[in-house]
Amino acid sequence: MEYVIGVLLLVSFVGLAIYAVRGGNLMIGMLIMGVLWTALPLIGNTFATNPDFIAQYPGVTDISFVDAITKVFQSGPEGWGNVLVNVVFGAWFGRVLLSTGIADALIRKTVELGGDRPAVICILLSIVTTAIFSTLFGAGAVVAIGVIILPILMSLGIPKVLAVGSFMMSVGAGMYLNPVLTGQFLAFFLDDAGKQLITYDDPARLRWAMIGVAVQLALVIVMTLFTLRKKKTVHAWVASAARRSRPGYVPAPALIAPILPVLLLIIFNVPIILGFTIASLYAMAICGEMKSFRAVCRTINKDFYDGVVDTAPLVGFLLMIPMFNKAAELCVPYFNALLGNVIPHNTLIISIAFALLAPLGLFRGPFTLFGCGAATLGILKGVGFSTPYLYALMVIPSITMNVSICMTQSWIAWGVSYAKVSTREHLKKTLPVAWAVCIVMQIVTWFVFG
pLDDT tens readout for residues 313-325:
667 766 787 787 7
Residue type for position 317: F
Task: Return the SS3 of 446.
Answer: helix
| In the predicted structure, residue 36 carries a pLDDT above the cut 80 | yes
pLDDT of residue 247: 47
pLDDT greater at residue 239 or residue 82: 82
pLDDT greater at residue 105 or residue 403: 403
The least confident of 313-317, 332-336, 390-394 is: 313-317
Evaluate whether 430 touches 169 at the Cβ level (below 8 Å): yes
Q: What is the mean pLDDT of the chain?
A: 83
* Range 259-287 average pLDDT: 87
pLDDT of residue 194: 64
* Range 136-142 average pLDDT: 78
pLDDT of residue 20: 66
Closest CA relative to residue 336, chosen from 376, 382, 373: 382
* Range 281-304 average pLDDT: 89
Q: In this prediction, what percent of the chain has a pLDDT beyond 70?
A: 87
Return the domain boundaries, the chain.
2-448
Q: In this prediction, what percent of the chain has a pLDDT beyond 90?
A: 28
For 81, residues 6+ apart whose C-beta sits below 8 A from its C-beta are 194
* Range 297-323 average pLDDT: 79
Closest CA relative to residue 159, chosen from 150, 146, 168: 150
**What would the pLDDT profile of 88-117 be if each residue is shown by its tens digit?**
887 788 788 888 888 788 887 877 776 668
Beta-carbon count within 10 A of 242 CB: 17
Count of CA atoms in the C-beta half-sphere (13 A) of 114: 30
pLDDT greater at residue 332 or residue 155: 155
DSSP 8-state code for residue 192: T
Report in angstroms the alpha-carbon separations of 7 from 48, 85, 126, 244: 14, 38, 46, 56
* Range 65-86 average pLDDT: 80
Q: Which of 9-18, 225-234, 282-291 has the highest mean pLDDT?
A: 282-291
**What would the pLDDT profile of 171-196 be if each residue is shown by its tens digit?**
999 999 998 889 888 878 877 666 77
pLDDT band with cut points at 50, 70 and 90 for residue 82: low
Task: Return the SS3 of 99.
Answer: helix
pLDDT of residue 350: 94
- The answer, as to whether pTM is greater than 0.85, is no
Specify the length of the chain in residues: 450
pLDDT of residue 245: 45
